[in-house]
Amino acid sequence: MSETKNVGRRWRAVARQRVALVAASLTIIGATSSAEARVPPGQDPFYQYTGSTPLADINPGTVLKTRTVPYHVLGFPLPIKTTQLLYRSTGQLGQPTVNVTSVIQPALSIGPQKLISYQSFYDSLSPNDEPSYAISGGLTLGGLIPNIETVLIAPFLLQGYSIVISDTEGQQADLVDGREYGMNTLDSLRATFNSPAVGLAGNTKVVLVGYSGGAIATEWAAELAPSYAPDVDRRIIGSSMGGVLVDPARNLRYINGSLVWAGIIPPALIGISRAFNVDLTPYLNDHGKALFGQMQKDSLLNVLAQYPGLTWASIAKPEYPTPEQIPAYVKMMNDLTMGTGGTPSAPMLIQQGTGGDLVGTPGNQPGIGAGDGVMIAGDVRTLARDYCSRGVKVQYGETPLLSHTPDALLVWIPETLLWVNARFADLTAPQNCGQIPVGNSLAPIPAP
């Protein structure tokens, strides 16, 4: 137990030092960076649709505005052409929305055009942390993640790939809302293919790529594509994802009371309730309401390792000892379980770590089992096996003793590079469906 407490103290100390260092760095950079840094999305007219045609009468994926900006890293512009598109999309409840995507094109491309749809793991409740703002020159703490992800997309650019990065959470920052992530991703691809300013050939193919929060968008886009965007689905030749959030309700039980990841419980619930327009505060105690109030614009970097031991019971009224006793919660979570929206048409590479015990998330919980500290291997196995049974070619791998970040991520990156290159080389996709271990049940949560 003392060793576990020591792990928690070390993680919190490191997290606080990193947040302080990043905040100081952003302050310095903000004072010296180019004058091109954009005003926040909420004040930027580019993010607003002002046309006379009602959005409901405009097809999803339609380009509404276009602009060209330099690609920025930590506020500094690079000579890389980036086209940003405002496009029509769809929210969780089916309502018409607008969103922004960024299309980054290589300096040199030889042969057929190739496109990567890269889904960022920016994981934030603030619209100011979305990739389009960071790419256009904006500086925020949560926006540091899209800046760091430059090193992940650089190998693709150097090989001549174009990269499209959408604001997967939408302009409301609906954290963890998988279906909306998927529709924003698919409509960003429609907009990219439709844009004369981008100028991709009509036969350009695409591979979806994402880790963690980016895996949420990648997986949901893959499973929704055949029904929601068959025009895009015909162009998708594969999807690679790692650290996958399959069953959000079980994930919240997994990190409940953990040392590093417990702090994401309130932001996840805030993001989901935003998307569904459901108020969960009547079920919270005073402490829970206070946390919900102060976390309305927090990113993962604000909460990681900052709330060790936080539990649902500590933020909920005593008459709701588990969230599964709340009908609205059950309905939302059942709707957000992966595999319920359709069957991907293209091959998949799925990677999952199982070293969560190393970061203070016990992997011996009944019905849950091992995970990487925040994502659960048993759930990912079942999703992979289910897709195999539906005829999808799935290459599934687990990385024992590796936690969610950065170690499992660093294993996933080179495997993804090789796998993506093989898809564009038209090689036969590998699959190991017969070797994937049995996982957890993904049956719907019973209505309370």
Selection from 350, 362, 335, 327 nearest residue 397 by Cα = 350
pLDDT at residue number 6: 55
Strand order in the sheet with 63-73: 63-73, 76-90, 96-104, 162-166, 114-119, 205-211, 236-242, 348-353, 394-399
pLDDT at residue number 13: 52
pLDDT at residue number 27: 40
pLDDT at residue number 110: 82
pLDDT at residue number 242: 98
pLDDT at residue number 262: 98
- For the whole model, what pTM was predicted? 0.92
- pLDDT less than 50: residues of the chain: 1-5, 7-8, 11-12, 14-37
Which runs of E-coded beta strand occur in 337-400?
348-353, 394-399
pLDDT at residue number 15: 45
Can you list the domains of the chain with their CATH numbers? 2-26+248-334 (1.10.260), 27-247+335-435 (3.40.50.1820)
pLDDT at residue number 32: 40
